[in-house]
Amino acid sequence: MRRARIMMAFAVAGATAVVGVLSLVPGETGSQAAQSVARPPSPGDPLTGDEVTRAGRIASATWRSHMTTGRAELLYVERDDDKAAGERRRADAYIYDYRTDRLVVRTVDLARGEVVEERTGRGVQPPPSRGEETAAAELLLADPKYGGRVRAAHLKAGGRPLVSAADLGLRALTFTPRPGDRVAGACEVHRCVRLFVRLPDGSWLDTSRIVVDLSAKKILTLEW
Amino acid sequence: MFLRLTLSSALLAAGLTGATGSTAGSTETAGTAGAAEAVRAAAGSAGAARAAQAAPGSQPSCSSPYRIDKTLPNGARWQLCWEMRTIEGLTLTDVTYTPDGGEPTGVLRSTALAQIHVPYDSGEPRFHDIGTIGDDAIALKSADCPGGERRSQFVCVTTRARGHGYMKSDGEGVSTSVQGTDLVVFAAFQLGWYTYLVEWAFGDDGAITPRIGATGSLSGFTTTPGYGWPIGVGSTKFEESHNHNVFWRLDFDIEGSRGDVVEQYDFAGSGTSKRKLVKTVFDEETKAVNGRMRWWRVVDSGVRNADRHPVSWEINNLASAEYRGPADEAFTRADLYVTDYRACERLASTNPTPGCGKSLDRYVADGKRLTDPVVWVNVGFHHVARDEDADPMPTHWQGFRITPRDVTAKNPS
């Protein structure tokens, strides 16, 4: 893993120049988004929905072309609560770059409207985002071996054919291979997830041996 | 909230009231080099003098609906903030305790879950359940938050009886007793088949009880008899046994981040009639394992109660299965870790920040000198399924206790 701690000061100019980027940015429905209120937030309040949107936009300003092609993704935005920041409102935007398999965490100072810190690393896997969860399910459904099984299980449990991944109850967790893993060794660096799949009757498919390699767009079956 | 007093203001406070008189003036020298010496004056005294010393920013830093401010029936008051973070889920910050008639004491700058590690007994699968747990918070119904108040759908703030605070007979058959109350803050999360109840109880005796309950459904993973227990009719389906190794991160800041020290206490003399107190001060980042009579405390010698004893918070009752995993899960091989504060060290394993260690065992590997300790507690529960775990599975709880030690000079109840 490359360990880098780079102080950056991107200009805010251009942050709103691209239309259509909002679809890439977590909005007010995010669980951590504070209720929209007229008054300014207190220093210890969660990020407001507006702050989440703004931080995501600022942090991803130089990534838009990669995001629109799916080669990078803004995963989520967390409030930065570093003691050293004092009472400044700051946000950490987690961006995953699939081209290089690097995690980029950009810290945005919301008052200044700019990125003030960036950390990048390979082999660092933050929890999967909702978007990655859906992408993993779509890969599973497209898999010749497992796709049909999932559809058949869904039909049996719900009495209706599966239309899309949205019909499934999904939950993804980061997968990290154990030492010597012959099947999923690439997941030391690749973005890999395990997927839990809930069917319409509330039961869960046993997907514990299945790993979705989002970087390689492959389904792996663990050996154990 | 009032932070440290300088020695001169402490003397002034004592002189103004006469409550502590010369004893306050002869206070011990604070043990932390370079720290301002301080004395907490007797409860209720010298408020004006101390108000002049109030530290900026010492009030809880949040506003409604994220601010919790509850005075329990015996007069104990808890103030804190909550936040639903995407990764860690429910996070509590700026936790402050005020005993009845006493002064506010800052306890925790923040606390949250740091991992739920779930390895199955056959060796696989092994899960790190902290993901984007905040996105899995369950919207609570009124019935899910009995007697309490729901905040932003996902957080319940309520109170709960905790049994006898004390009971004492006068020897003539007349007894006095008091019933205690907890302030409870909790949220529920759906992670796969499990529903996790994540709560912190704040007692009217000053104690804090973090715990997590696992309910919902069994995984349904089946295995061979050596790794499971027969579920359902007969002995054909063996539900696989597993551990829930839960880690909490606790950034103690007793009246601010300065001056906090972590100590370990043991009592030597096993097999003899004596038990001798053995104190170990942790100067450097370290890890520790449980012992039957072992406990730890975070103490700030610059903050004293009316008896001039340093204020501290004790960590005990780690009723843990003490799971010890393989070498690549070295973070499971201790029950308590003490690290120096680093904002990027958030999770016990699968830490999501570049440029930072990946797991607890790596955080302490360099043995950095402690200046602002953060305590990590690991409590494991080994779940061997039983017929009673049929859906919906009864809640099984695991957690630990944080109790005040010399925060007040007398029983605060």
The alpha carbon of residue B272 and the mean position of all alpha carbons in its chain are separated, in whole angstroms, by 33
Q: Which CATH architecture has domain A130-221?
A: Roll (3.10)
Gap from B343 CA to chain A (nearest CA, Å): 5
pLDDT in tens, B374-397: 999 999 999 999 999 999 999 999
Structural domain span for residue B268: 59-163+175-405
Q: Are residues B281 and B261 in the same domain?
A: yes
Q: Are residues B7 and B66 in the same domain?
A: no
Q: What is the CATH number of the domain that holds B90?
A: 2.70.98.20
Q: Do B86 and A84 touch (CB under 8 A)?
A: no
Interface test with chain A among B132, B151, B240, B366, by most A beta carbons within 10 Å: B132
pLDDT in tens, A110-146: 999 999 999 999 999 999 999 999 999 999 999 999 9
Q: Are residues B12 and B92 in the same domain?
A: no
pLDDT in tens, A141-183: 999 999 999 999 999 999 999 999 999 999 999 999 999 999 9
Residue B413 lies in a domain: no
Q: Are residues B26 and B71 in the same domain?
A: no
Q: Do A119 and B193 touch (CB under 8 A)?
A: no
Q: Are residues B72 and B84 in the same domain?
A: yes
Residue B412 lies in a domain: no
- List, by residue range, all CATH 3.10.450.40 domains of chain A: 4-122, 130-221
Tokens representing A178 are 């154990």
Poorest-confidence range of A3-17, A144-158, B282-296, B386-400? A3-17
Residue B352: pLDDT above 80? yes
Which whole number is the average pLDDT over B256-271? 97
Q: How many CB pairs under 8 A join A and B?
A: 145
Q: Which fold has domain A4-122?
A: Nuclear Transport Factor 2; Chain: A, (3.10.450)
Total of domains in chain B: 2
* Predicted-complex ipTM score: 0.85
Q: Do B352 and A32 touch (CB under 8 A)?
A: no
Could you say which of B15, B41, B58 is where a domain stops? B58
Q: Do A173 and B137 touch (CB under 8 A)?
A: no
Q: Are residues B283 and B400 in the same domain?
A: yes
Residue A37: pLDDT above 60? no
Q: Give the chain B residue whose CA is nearest to the CA of A29.
A: B135
